[in-house]
Structure 1
Amino acid sequence: MADMAPLDPAKTAAAAFKLLAENPLFKVGEAEIRGNVYRVFENAPPSLAGLFAHAAATHGEKEFLIFEDERLSFAELWRRACRFAHALQDELGVKQGDKVALAMRNFPEWCVSYMAVISLGAVVVPLNAWWKDEELHYGLKDCGARIVIADARRLEYIAPCKDELGLTLVLAREGGEGADYRYEDLLKGAKSDAQPQVEIHPDDDFCIVYTSGSTGHPKGVVLTHRGAISALFSWTFIASILKELRGGVSPFGDDPGILLGIPLFHVTGSHSIFLLSYMVGRRVVMMYRWDPKEAAAIINREKLTNFVGVPSQSFELMQAVGPEGLPSLIDIGSGGAKRPADHVKKLAAKFQNGKPSSGYGLSETNALGCVISQGDYQLRPDSTGRPVPPVTDIKIMEDGEQQPVGGVGEVWIKSPANFRGYHNLPEETAKAITSDGWFRTGDLGKMDAEGYLYIVDRLKDLIIRGGENISCLEVENRVYDHGDVAEAVVFSVPDEVLGERVGLVVYPKEGMTIDAAELRNFVAEELAAFKVPERIWISPTKLPQLGTAKFDKITVKKIALQHPPALSV
């Protein structure tokens, strides 16, 4: 049985100070970043390319990436990435600062391409693989990428806008028409597998990841090399503290392995699982598509020690596991959304060795924020944990004043992991990042006397469904494209498994009637499946408004949830 006693604060602090004093890897200094001073890891590599090269040399031919019947070592993945980087440079002319988009589901080629683009000092743009043609068109036009590495399905969606956007398309793995190059041919024709010789500054951009905000379109979050490395070093620092407190037992396990059952285009997948695993020497078993029964079988077959997913996945895993259990699993992490407190208790009871943990972070912070595990999580299942030391600060703000213990306000985060800004959105950036370098998350929270953060609500008009951020405005805009809709309000419907689902109340134009199923199909033609309303109500009256002429969403939601919907899927 895993040790479920809460961590002793004095011993935790002593272990942290010992690491900071004795381990040069975690030496903390100060640096000016974009006009503000931050605590930073002084001895971190200047770029992710340096981190990749060091990890490949350290872990060598040890097995790293497993996908179906394919197995790649740490060194082999880096060799392929370097070969592909030279192909991109020599054949396609990719140079430092260029943007290259990835549009594919979880494949080894995603990881190779991601590392290759980064090693050139170019900017990788992982597009949401659940998006459809209009959404992909928007993302590509917004980021300005001219080269897209895609799988067959995404290639179909993107091909119609190839000429308009001046795209060069590279098809990875599968067969298909319309590509300019095939990934395999580029890899085969590369002239070298040496690391590209490019000088990358710590505060150079490495990635633009898209996240739905309260605006009608996803926003491109611009991340830097120092930002990602700060997150990776912070998580490694926490793991080192836990190892010290547990007498040398690593939270990653003796033979570390983790299941990748979430998309790589999210920072939880790309950072918390892929990049962190590459840095610390942990095997990654990649799933193309989430299936809880298959996930349980993989965990037992590969003797995996860690699992990280959105809360609904750990709940489904718990239901899918057979009488043999998951004996190798020692940690069941979640991120992307709040895990219901009841799930925390059920998971702890179900798995003898594996215990639940949780984290809080955002795309804008390279997924870095808070973490909570073991006995601390059992005692405070509603908390998302303490700020991750040693370079992250969190405070609760309301009307320009920092709130006392227990006071509710907006959660602000300051760390070198914070994003540089929103791509092409200077006004949104100015709203989100204060002049002294704090990121305003848009989440409402409070902190207790021991420094544990509790997220209580959000300021943004967002739905978080199974870890996916959904802009209510984006869905409403699509609903209004339907000729019979006069008024529409989109809101979150509480759900035990997914956390929230998409709810919609519509009022028809005069003389019109609306068929809820037909309306849902109409919305689904343009939006990714996870954004499509799952509960639809048809209102017999005009929707209530506030004094500002905006709809009174709180009242609309309250009334709707008291009545059965016209459609429930």
Structure 2
Amino acid sequence: MPHTDPSRSPDPGALARIEASLTGPGAPFAVVRAEHGPFVYSNGPRTLREFAETTWAFGEQPFLISGERVCSYGEFFAAASSLARRLAESYGLRPGDRAVVAMRNHPEWQVAFWAAQLAGLVAVPLNTWWTEGEFAYALDDCEPKVLLVDADQLPKLEGWGRKAGARFVVFGGGGEAPGGGELPAGAERYADLPEADPYAAPPEVEIRPEDDATIIYTSGTTGRPKGAVATHLAQAGAALNPRYQAAVSALGRGVVPGQGPAPVTLMTFPFFHVAAFTSLYAAMAVGATLVLMPKWDADEALRLIRRHGVTHYAGVPATALQLLSAADRAGDGLESLKGLNTGGAAAPPDLVARLTARHGERIEPRNGYGLTETSGGVLANFGAAYRAHPDSVGTPTPVTEIRIAGPAGEELPEGEAGELWLRGQSLVRGYWRDEGATAEAFTGGWFRTGDVAVVRGGRVSVVDRIKDVVIRGGENVYCVEVESVLHGHPDVEDAAVLGVPHPVLGEEVAAVVRVGPGSAVTADELRAHVGRSLAAFKVPAHVLVTREPLPRNVTGKILKRELRGAVQEHAGESGGRGLTDG
């Protein structure tokens, strides 16, 4: 079973007693070993449909607030049920068919996603920052039968949809497609659908725990997106994980879980990001309210916190730091805030120090660790433990096992650094239609994260990454993907992409590019070249152009550690502008 962290309480045995009271037989988070498999929660939902159906009981409690719009749980469930019936009965979709969800953080995103779950479809949330080409690759891979999109995303998707003969439901944007064109054949506006019947049930379909629930795209060392497939049982485990962590936190502070008014959370994660699901599940389980932001703005976040009495913040560390700075400038004491939750990227150790220095221990800090392949957060660090160990990502949930593995997969003793392996209920079953990538990432039921970690006193600290990835403000940028695009420029002979530290984003993307003799290509032109193929967050902020060979080892691999110092120095000098060397 996972280790505990006695630093959360002055009594070394207190946390052990709390965990035992929560996970023992008959307890709310009772844990059993699945046959020939990982630990699983023995109570609670087994499918996402079961989880969603419980939210109907919250009735008129506000669920989603977006601008002046307030959507209650009752309205949400009626709308999701109505759309699910249309997908199943009018569109003829069957369990297992894929349904793409591509839209900004509108309330309708949740209606679309949960309609897919109520109909037994496999929901495929896609990154709205992607280009048309990036969308096309994922669509070719998952072959959806229906695309649930907002009007802003339609231009990037309708070309594929026309060729594939897929159906569309378009949310917002009036009666025409953007630019004045007609909607694609087989498309209908969500606004034109019949009004939802608040008493109508979801369609009668059989959904089993082992059925696929979601495909969420990530990227690997090949640079191509891979669809991580989670079953309903895995997502049900992901839904219980944050509830368990919240219960441990409450009991550790001497508070009975579930008492008091429902939380109000400012949601700044994009819904397509797996980190958003952790906050979403935590909110839906207790009838909490999510306050949405169409675009991040720290000053607007302060206004929303004041207006709606926000009790919890959820976002990447970069936006959390900006929120604290904006509050300092405005003299805003964040009086309603009780929790500051960050995820999606490594939190700088001084984040919790800044929070404590300004607000004492009134606002509980929380960070953790999770991946697309874990369906959200599976380790958490909060409260006194976080303040005492700000470089840690915390301890695992009771259905998550950890192993620090050596080169041959052997388990290393505590205190030694090795690759972090994970096993548990919420892990995905593999990658969509990619047996090779699945076999490479999973060993005997254990997922190899590619992160180097160390365990001390039961707490996990991630110290490095094996995978060649830059995490920019919570978004993964896989270096080989950017390198591949750079290599496509006719003047480029070699390229290396790496991350450089950034005080707010955590890391920023940088590139060293070797060009051919006589080339006059500039750094800005190379950045524009990348931007034509990849999303803006993947475009290198710093480009060092050189005519010198890039350092490589005897096997031909670029020695990026030998480039890092020069790139960081030039990044500091350029302030984001590209530089040319020689």
TM-score (norm 2): 0.92
* 1:248 corresponds to: 255
Q: Deviations over 1:174-207 (max 9, x none)?
A: 2342341111223538897312212211121100
The 1:422/1:334 distance shift into structure 2, 3 A limit, reads same
Report the residue type matching 1:12 in the other structure: L
Post-superposition offset of 1:319: 0.9
* RMSD over aligned Cα atoms: 2.0
Post-superposition offset of 1:249: 5.3
The 1:543/1:22 distance shift into structure 2, 3 A limit, reads closer
Query: Does the alignment pair 1:394 with 2:396?
Result: no
Query: Does the alignment pair 1:83 with 2:92?
Result: no
d(CA) in 2 for partners of 1:22, 1:487: 59
Q: Deviations over 1:474-495 (max 9, x none)?
A: 1111112211111111111111
The 1:386/1:413 distance shift into structure 2, 3 A limit, reads same
Post-superposition offset of 1:558: 2.9
d(CA) in 2 for partners of 1:402, 1:78: 46
Report the residue type matching 1:309 in the other structure: G
Q: Check whether the contact 1:80–1:187 (CA below 8 A) recurs between aligned residues.
A: no
Q: Deviations over 1:490-524 (max 9, x none)?
A: 11111111010000111112221221111111211
The 1:240/1:101 distance shift into structure 2, 3 A limit, reads same
**Pick aligned residue for 2:352 from 344, 369, 379:** 344
* 1:47 corresponds to: 47
Post-superposition offset of 1:91: 2.3
**Pick aligned residue for 1:279 from 259, 282, 285:** 285
Report the residue type matching 1:131 in the other structure: W
The 1:252/1:493 distance shift into structure 2, 3 A limit, reads farther
Q: Check whether the contact 1:87–1:187 (CA below 8 A) recurs between aligned residues.
A: no
Query: Does the alignment pair 1:516 with 2:504?
Result: no
Q: Deviations over 1:401-429 (max 9, x none)?
A: 21112101000111011101011211110
**Pick aligned residue for 1:377 from 375, 380, 386:** 386
Q: Deviations over 1:109-143 (max 9, x none)?
A: 10000000011111000000110111111111111
d(CA) in 1 for partners of 2:282, 2:21: 23
Calculate percent identity across the aligned residue pairs: 37
Q: Mapping of 1:48-447 within 5 angstroms?
A: 48-57=48-57, 59-175=58-174, 176-177=176-177, 178-179=183-184, 180-188=187-195, 193-248=200-255, 250=257, 254-269=261-276, 271-321=277-327, 322-352=330-360, 353-388=362-397, 390-399=398-407, 400-435=409-444, 437-447=445-455
**Pick aligned residue for 2:510 from 485, 503, 508:** 503
d(CA) in 1 for partners of 2:567, 2:363: 40
d(CA) in 1 for partners of 2:431, 2:565: 34
Post-superposition offset of 1:23: 5.1
Q: Check whether the contact 1:413–1:438 (CA below 8 A) recurs between aligned residues.
A: yes
Q: Deviations over 1:448-499 (max 9, x none)?
A: 0x11101011111111000101111111111122111111111111111101
**Pick aligned residue for 2:8 from 6, 9, 12:** 6
Report the residue type matching 1:152 in the other structure: A
d(CA) in 1 for partners of 2:354, 2:67: 31
The 1:24/1:516 distance shift into structure 2, 3 A limit, reads same
d(CA) in 1 for partners of 2:97, 2:570: 52
Q: Mapping of 1:518-533 within 5 angstroms?
A: 518-533=525-540
Post-superposition offset of 1:18: 1.7
Report the residue type matching 1:397 in the other structure: A
Post-superposition offset of 1:234: 2.4
Q: Mapping of 1:2-41 within 5 angstroms?
A: 6-7=8-9, 8-21=11-24, 24-32=27-35, 36-41=36-41
Post-superposition offset of 1:86: 0.7
Q: Check whether the contact 2:8–2:252 (CA below 8 A) recurs between aligned residues.
A: no
Report the residue type matching 2:395 in the other structure: R
SS in 1 for 2:195: helix
* 2:464 corresponds to: 457
Question: Which stretches of structure 1, 4 residues or more, deviate above 4 A after TM superposition?
Answer: 189-192, 249-253, 564-567
Post-superposition offset of 1:251: 8.9
d(CA) in 2 for partners of 1:430, 1:22: 35
Post-superposition offset of 1:355: 3.0
Report the residue type matching 1:245 in the other structure: G
The 1:197/1:403 distance shift into structure 2, 3 A limit, reads same
Q: Check whether the contact 2:88–2:203 (CA below 8 A) recurs between aligned residues.
A: no
- Say how many residue pairs are matched: 558
Post-superposition offset of 1:295: 0.9
d(CA) in 1 for partners of 2:26, 2:207: 25
- Bigger drift between 126-135 and 513-522 goes to 513-522
Q: Check whether the contact 1:258–1:307 (CA below 8 A) recurs between aligned residues.
A: yes
Report the residue type matching 1:524 in the other structure: G
Post-superposition offset of 1:28: 2.1
- Bigger drift between 257-266 and 142-151 goes to 142-151
The 1:190/1:144 distance shift into structure 2, 3 A limit, reads farther
d(CA) in 2 for partners of 1:167, 1:480: 34
The 1:60/1:133 distance shift into structure 2, 3 A limit, reads same
Q: Check whether the contact 2:274–2:376 (CA below 8 A) recurs between aligned residues.
A: yes
d(CA) in 1 for partners of 2:194, 2:450: 43
d(CA) in 2 for partners of 1:18, 1:24: 7
* 2:180 corresponds to: none
Report the residue type matching 2:432 in the other structure: H
d(CA) in 1 for partners of 2:52, 2:253: 29
SS in 2 for 1:536: strand
Q: Check whether the contact 2:266–2:312 (CA below 8 A) recurs between aligned residues.
A: yes
The 1:551/1:40 distance shift into structure 2, 3 A limit, reads same
d(CA) in 1 for partners of 2:326, 2:255: 32
SS in 2 for 1:382: coil
Post-superposition offset of 1:369: 1.9
Post-superposition offset of 1:261: 1.0
